[in-house]
Amino acid sequence: MKNINLTAAIAHYLGHLQTLTDETVEFIPGRKYGKVVFTSKPPRIGRSVHSFVDLSTGDLLKAAGWNAPAKDARFNLLRELDKVTAVADPYGSYLYKR
C-alpha cells in the first residue's frame, strides 16, 4: 500500500486484528503513542495492551506494559502495512525481536 496516511494505516491494522480475534479491538490515542487494546468479552472481561503506535512516525512497537512500549520499532505502518497484516496474529508474537 503506497501513499497511505497514518490514520488510514491504523484503521486498516485494527480492522485486520479484529478479524483475527473475537475480542474487541480499540485504539486509544495518547500524546506520543497510541495504544492498541484488546478487551475480552463476558464471562471473562479483561483488557490488555497488544501494541503501541508512534503517532509521529507510524512505528509499531511491542507493549512493555500498560503504559509504555518496548524499545525499538518492530514495523512501520506507513511503509510495511502489507507485511504487518501478513504476519500479524492476535497474540503479538510477530512483535518479538528475532
- pLDDT tens digits for 6-22? 999 999 999 999 999 99
Residue 4, pLDDT > 80, answer no
- pLDDT tens digits for 35-72? 999 999 887 789 999 999 999 999 999 999 999 999 99
Cell of 45: 472481561
What is the number of alpha carbons within 13 Å of residue 71 lying toward its C-beta?
Answer: 0
Where b means 16+ CB within 10 Å and e means fewer, 10-48 reads: bebbbeebeeeeebebeeeeeeebbbbbbeeeeeeeeee
- pLDDT band for 2, please (50, 70, 90 cuts): low
* 88: three-class secondary structure by DSSP: coil
